[in-house]
């Protein structure tokens, strides 16, 4: 079939039989639940923009498997141009949603699994790559949202998967059968899981021989028997249940995370892409992490654009446009945001072709990109909060503004510049609050720290990819030290 329209995407989710728990209750209808719905709207935007002629170049690509036009989120990168367009697409969607639009994880997962399965087959004589290509073709033809699932709960971090007191703290194979495998365990912090059609599971760390049962990669329907979800809590999330739209800040869009539990789930062999090949688990983790760290140079920058715009409006509404220190803070926010974007573009432009034919980013620069992401959005957020002022976190509620008596008092005492409606000021301050402290902060500030690996994970990769030995040799030549001398 052709690429899904936004309406077809929403209807396809209604046809799923997802088992979702939210605040201790089983959700009867995830699609229309007020807490979940904004995150669905964000994913829906990826389908909407792909239908619009002005965004076709960024939002779509040509499948290397079929030659048909596909949504870029279902595409394997065929050039450095594709890698650059990915980052530009993510910035665009960040600008349009000011939230996490959730399909990046699956896009990064398919690109990592592609090259690793190819290399496994070349070395071991397996047929994982053919299986993966079959899944990918179905994904492209059905325009699926696929959730890439890597992060395990991990339990005691000092112990390997096979040494944990509870074996389910890392997802693992519990039985191999003639027709497939049975898996148990969980994946934590799963972005967009409840808005996905399929799940693409990967190991979470490099494995040793004793952990072979944990070196597993496969695809499963999001509503497969034995799979259920526990929705993650976010700051200010119950504001979505109040019925208004000002206090939520971002009235239409959002993101979500969930704990995804696999309770003895059957996976047919056709959908298994790694099963015990522990020596390739590290490569899969490294490549997925690299792709996903590149992603942050696009999506977080797009959300940053919205936050900078909101701060600039707060300046206007507060009447402080002429203050030199305020101008300097806005300039600094722009400088930091464009620095992040530069890193995303740089690691894309320096990408290389893999053995399977798809393109991978420069891993060193991708990790530098994400290392900056763990820091600079915090400063951008701090500057936005500084500019906004204390009213951002002490403002009365929307119910107070709408009250027939005290509403006039709220209107009178919280007005800024005379010709700017007080409600406009209230809305922009709530948006800044949402992006820096509320539900969107999960997908902007805090996710900037922990998404795609915590800061130390990038530093490990930077040390590994930084080629310090070669830099020493460069210094020796310049200093006139013989090559073999100390």
Is 142 catalytic? The answer is no
Catalytic residue among 47, 229, 291, 296: 296
Please report, in range form, the residues annotated as the binding site: 191
Please report, in range form, the residues annotated as the binding site for FAD: 191
- CA-to-CA distance for 444 and 255, rounded, in angstroms? 10
Helix axis angle, 324-349 to 363-373, nearest 10°: 160
Nearest alpha-carbon partner for 1 in 14, 12, 17, 16: 12
Is 100 catalytic? The answer is yes
* CB contact at 8 A, 368 and 462: yes
Catalytic residue among 74, 275, 299, 343: 299
Catalytic residue among 191, 354, 374, 439: 191
Is 104 catalytic? The answer is yes
Is 292 catalytic? The answer is yes
Is 55 catalytic? The answer is no
Nearest alpha-carbon partner for 159 in 202, 214, 200: 214
Catalytic residue among 77, 129, 172, 292: 292
Catalytic residue among 10, 47, 74, 100: 100
Catalytic residue among 385, 398, 433, 447: 447
Is 64 catalytic? The answer is no
Nearest alpha-carbon partner for 172 in 211, 135, 137: 211
Catalytic residue among 10, 119, 257, 433: 257
Which positions are annotated as active-site residues? 100, 104, 191, 257, 292, 296, 299, 447
């Amino acid at each position: 079939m052709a690429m899904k329209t936004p309406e077809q995407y929403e209807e396809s989710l209604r046809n799923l039989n997802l088992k979702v728990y939210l605040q201790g209750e089983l959700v009867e209808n995830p699609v229309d639940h007020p807490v979940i719905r904004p995150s669905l709207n964000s994913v829906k935007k990826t389908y909407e923009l792909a239908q619009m002629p002005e965004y076709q170049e960024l939002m779509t690509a040509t499948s290397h498997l079929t030659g048909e036009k596909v949504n870029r989120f279902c595409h394997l990168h065929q050039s450095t141009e594709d890698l650059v367009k990915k980052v530009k697409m993510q910035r665009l969607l960040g600008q349009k949603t000011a939230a996490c639009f959730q399909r990046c994880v699956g896009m990064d997962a398919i690109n990592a699994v592609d090259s690793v399965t190819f290399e496994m087959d070349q070395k071991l004589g397996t047929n994982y790559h053919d299986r993966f290509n079959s899944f990918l073709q179905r994904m492209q033809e059905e325009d699926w949202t696929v959730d890439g699932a890597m992060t395990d709960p991990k339990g005691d971090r000092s112990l390997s998967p096979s040494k944990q007191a509870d074996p389910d703290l890392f997802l693992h194979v519990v039985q191999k059968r003639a027709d497939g495998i049975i898996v148990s365990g969980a994946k934590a912090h799963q972005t967009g899981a409840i808005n996905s059609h399929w799940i693409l599971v990967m190991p979470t760390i490099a494995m040793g021989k004793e952990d072979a049962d944990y070196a597993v990669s496969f695809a499963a329907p999001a509503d497969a028997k034995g799979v259920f979800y526990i929705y993650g809590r976010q700051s200010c999330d119950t504001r979505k249940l109040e019925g208004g739209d000002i206090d939520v800040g971002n009235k239409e869009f959002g993101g979500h995370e969930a704990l995804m539990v696999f309770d003895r789930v059957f996976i047919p062999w056709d959908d298994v892409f790694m099963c015990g090949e522990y020596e390739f688990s590290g490569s899969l983790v490294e490549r997925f992490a690299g792709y996903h760290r590149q992603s942050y140079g696009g999506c977080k920058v797009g959300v940053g654009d919205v936050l900078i715009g909101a701060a600039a409006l707060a300046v206007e509404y507060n009447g402080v446009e002429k203050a030199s220190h305020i101008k300097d803070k806005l300039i600094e926010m722009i400088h930091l945001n464009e620095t992040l974007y530069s890193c995303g573009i740089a690691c894309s432009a320096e990408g290389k072709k893999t053995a399977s034919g798809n393109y991978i980013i420069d891993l060193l620069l991708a990790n530098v990109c994400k290392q900056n992401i763990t820091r600079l959005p915090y400063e951008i957020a701090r500057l936005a909060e500084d500019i906004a002022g204390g009213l951002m976190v002490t403002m009365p509620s929307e119910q107070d503004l709408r009250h027939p008596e005290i509403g006039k008092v709220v209107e009178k005492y919280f007005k800024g510049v005379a010709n700017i409606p007080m409600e406009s000021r209230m809305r922009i301050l709530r948006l800044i609050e949402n992006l820096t402290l509320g539900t969107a902060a999960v997908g902007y500030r805090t996710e900037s720290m922990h998404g795609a690996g915590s800061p130390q994970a990038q530093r490990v990769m930077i040390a590994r990819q930084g080629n310090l030995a070669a830099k020493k040799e460069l210094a020796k030549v310049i200093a006139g030290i013989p090559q073999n001398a100390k």
